[in-house]
Amino acid sequence: MLTVLTFLAAGAAAPCAPLPGVATVLATPRLQWLIVGEQHVTVEAPHAFADIVCHAARRGRPITVELEILDGEQPLIKAFMMSDGGPAARATLLTSQAFAAKIQDGRGS
């Protein structure tokens, strides 16, 4: 099952990493969806995705992120999203099965 996390990003404090072509894509007037797939267990895919979200947030675009995790994880994610994002909130989020499982397949990155 998929857990959906929807939010309107106001923009990140840090500058977005350069990502060739993303400005052109995000400037497309009729753009409604940008679907980003990824290969599990990579470092590059989560970083590129974060950069895309950062650039979209900077443009004031509404952002919906769909995560490939079990529905049962939703309460922990929701609690984190409603929190201040501080150390206690992060520690609680990291107790979820997605992050604490012995065998990690890359979906938690």
Q: Mean of the pLDDT values across residues 55-66?
A: 88
pLDDT band for 41, please (50, 70, 90 cuts): confident
Does residue 109 register a pLDDT over 80?
Answer: no
Kindly report the backbone phi and psi dihedral angles of residue 38, in degrees, each rounded to the nearest multiple of 5, phi listed first.
Answer: -155, 160
The ranges assigned to domains in the chain are 3-100
Alpha-carbon distance 49 to 37, whole Å? 9
**Mean pLDDT, rounded, for 27-40:** 86
pLDDT in tens, 64-82: 888 777 888 889 888 988 9
Instruction: Dig out the tokens for 107 from the structure.
Output: 């979906």
